[in-house]
Amino acid sequence: MADPAAEDIIAQVTVQVDRLQSRLAQVRQVIVVASGKGGVGKSALTANLACALAGSGRVGAADADLNGPSLARMLGAAGQQLRLSEDGVLPARGALGVSVISTDLLLPEGAPLRWRSPAAPEDAENGPAFLFQSVYEGSVLRELLADVAWGALDFLLIDAPPGTDKIDRLLQLLPKPPLLVVVGTPSEVTRAVVARSAAVAAESRAQAGLVVNLATHVCENCGHESPLFIGEDPAAIAHEVGLPLWGAIPFDRRLAQSTDRGEPFIERYPDAPAALAVRALANRLQQMSA
């Protein structure tokens, strides 16, 4: 005998997925920026890449890292109050006109995101809250993409949370194959995680490429460029993990300072090697989307 409660949940999810597909049908190209590992500069790259693409089209940025959101702040949209329209939630307005949605905009400043079960944690029948976290995360992620009135966009960038399983879950939500930017650094540990992310990409429909962040250090005074890590060059790393190399971003301390202030680094320091590398990546993605 069918469970009415289960059938009701399936019906709700089906309606939500249909709404998501209808919403994303207005987006010319979805770009997922992922890593599988935190701390590689993925969100900062997403923010600056969104600003670089904003010069040639309408751009949205969705922060899919629900538990550790940072994209709103990096795009200068922190503290904005979201508004509701007949078409859905209106995204915040970030730097260079980038539309932004993030759980950071739904929480008081500094407040952690907490997941609660339908009943008290001690309720043996419903179980502790952590048992429901994956279900809730999937539902909130669908809402971020389906219930936000993005409008017609040329590019929608999605900042994926760490974890190869979450990358896979996100890719399954999207109605058409995205461009998948896999971010890594030259460190051995990061490369091992990136290799697993590359395996997820290979199993999906996404067209994926590697961007090596913190690839080199360029002296601000003399312009001398040297490796930041002891390891192989970006092309060798890309070959090792089985992805084409889409870009290599030099380290620049000013990039972190700019994102902390919510200012586009690529606009403030347009001739910096890191800014030129981000713009080169944006140009590549534009050509691939044409």
Q: Which of 30, 51, 49 is nearest to 213 (CA)?
A: 49
Q: Name all domains of the chain by residue range, CATH numbers in brackets.
A: 27-289 (3.40.50.300)
Q: Report the chain's C-alpha Rg in angstroms.
A: 20
In angstroms, rounded to a whole number, what is the distance separating the alpha carbons of residues 102 and 267?
A: 23
Q: Poorest-confidence range of 62-76, 79-93, 108-122, 182-196?
A: 108-122
* Residue found under tokens 């290979």: 202
Look at residue 118 and tell me whether its pLDDT is greater than 80: no
Kindly indicate the confidence band of residue 36, based on its pLDDT and cuts at 50, 70 and 90: confident
DSSP state of 114: -
Taking each helix axis from N to C terminus, what angle separates 188-203 and 164-173, rounded to the nearest 10 degrees? 30
Average pLDDT (5-10) is: 54
pLDDT (0 to 100) of residue 5:
46
Beta bridge partners of 31: 157, 179
Mean predicted confidence (pLDDT) in 63-78? 90
Residue 11, amino acid: A
- The DSSP code sequence of 160-172 is PPSSHHHHHHHHH
Q: Tell me: pLDDT of 288 over 60.
A: yes
Looking at per-residue pLDDT, the higher value among 210 and 217 belongs to 210
pLDDT tens sequence across 78-100: 989 889 898 889 999 999 999 99
